[in-house]
Amino acid sequence: MSAEENLPAGDVWAALRRTTQARIGLGRAGNSLPSHRVLEFKAAHSAARDAVHVPLDADALAVELDTLGLG
């Protein structure tokens, strides 16, 4: 079951959320975000930090660009 199937019936943000990667209309749990939304953000943030700190493999990048016809 996907996260979108668990949305409340009156979720006005659902259509917009499907069109963007922005974190909008996440819901609330008291004064905070629901735990699963916080964990999703932390996982995405960790992946982004890892991507920034990985050394650039220029040769592999050149091969990928050539494969896409962008080289």
Q: Strand, helix or coil at 29?
A: strand
The pLDDT score that the predictor gives to residue 9 is 61
What CATH number is given for 3-67 in this structure?
1.10.30.40
Q: How far apart are CA 47 and CA 23, in angstroms?
A: 16
Domain range list for the chain: 3-67
The pLDDT score that the predictor gives to residue 49 is 94
pTM above 0.85, yes or no: no
Report yes or no: 16 and 25 within 8 Å, Cβ to Cβ: yes
The pLDDT score that the predictor gives to residue 27 is 85
Q: Is the pLDDT of residue 3 over 80?
A: no
Q: What is the pLDDT of residues 30-71, one digit of tens each?
A: 889 999 999 999 999 999 999 898 899 999 999 999 999 997
Q: Which two tokens stand for residue 52?
A: 């920034």
Q: Nearest-5° angle of CA 36, CA 40, CA 44?
A: 170
The pLDDT score that the predictor gives to residue 14 is 85
